[in-house]
Structure 1
Amino acid sequence: MSLKVNYNYLLVAFLVIFLGIISRKTSFIPLFIGDILYAIMIYCMVEFFIWSKNNTLKFIFPLSICFIIELSQLIDLNWLNALRHTALGYYILGQGFLYSDLLCYTVGILIAFTVDANRKG
């Protein structure tokens, strides 16, 4: 792993955040699309901050972040619940555990990883 900044990932992450917000505000877009976009955003942020040529790490690390955040929703701590009730905490940490979210995160990371690998050749 090396510390290398690639601003393309940051730009894509902000675009995905924008699309994710739109997906939550429009009724015709299924809610699971937002979860897929969330995972793509996590992938881009990881690639922005921690660039790696190791394909296994590029797939597993952002997926692990998504899973840890989702699994943290099973923890019932007052301070964590208070954080979840803020706007930023709501968007980052979510509100309730769903197994389907884990599937959506896996699909999102797989999409981002595949697009990234094909883009680089």
Structure 2
Amino acid sequence: MISKWNILTRRKMRGVYIIAVFTTILLGLASRKFSHLLIPFIANNAGDFIWAMMVYFGFRFLFVHKGLLFAILLSFLFSFGIEFSQFYQADWMNQIRETLLGALILGKGFLTVDLIRYTAGILIAAVFDKRYSS
């Protein structure tokens, strides 16, 4: 049986995670729009790094009752799955990728370095989560 305290804690954490999702979305979009103001290393890597953080926080929001490791594993599966899906180049999929939303979610072409960026983003998000949700 779920206690009243546990339900309130889950609701509070869902609020924290949805704020984290929207914050990372805004940071990711800003990193693209204002990339010319950033040092090249950050400008080149921030978008994918922050995207992976958003994925992690999204899974924490959806599965707040599950553990940290569960969210990390789902985040890796999702992020790496999206990246490897870029090998699939059907016309209908490429038409989706040509839209702004499609490009932001699905990317355009496979890059091995994106897997490193996703790994860093997911792990940093998990470290923040562990540090500040305890």
Mark yes or no: TM-score above 0.5.
Answer: yes
Question: Which segments of 5 or more consecutive residues in structure 2 lack a partner in the other structure?
Answer: 1-9
Within the alignment, does 1:75 sit opposite 2:85 as a pair? no
Aligned partners of 1:49 and 1:56: how far apart in 2? 14
C-alpha displacement of 1:65: 0.5
Over the aligned positions, Cα root-mean-square deviation in angstroms equals: 1.4
Alignment-derived partner of residue 88 in structure 1: 101
Q: Which amino acid aligns with 2:21?
A: A
Higher relative contact order (CA 8 A, sep 6+): 1
Superposition TM-score, scaled by structure 1 size: 0.90
The count of aligned residue pairs is: 118
Question: Which segments of 5 or more consecutive residues in structure 1 lack a partner in the other structure?
Answer: none
Equivalent in 10, 19, 22 of residue 27 of structure 2: 19
Superposition TM-score, scaled by structure 2 size: 0.82
% identical equivalent positions = 36
Superposed CA offset, 1:25-62 (max 9, x none): 12124221111100000001111112244332121111
Secondary structure, aligned partner of 1:43: helix
Aligned partners of 1:120 and 1:86: how far apart in 2? 36
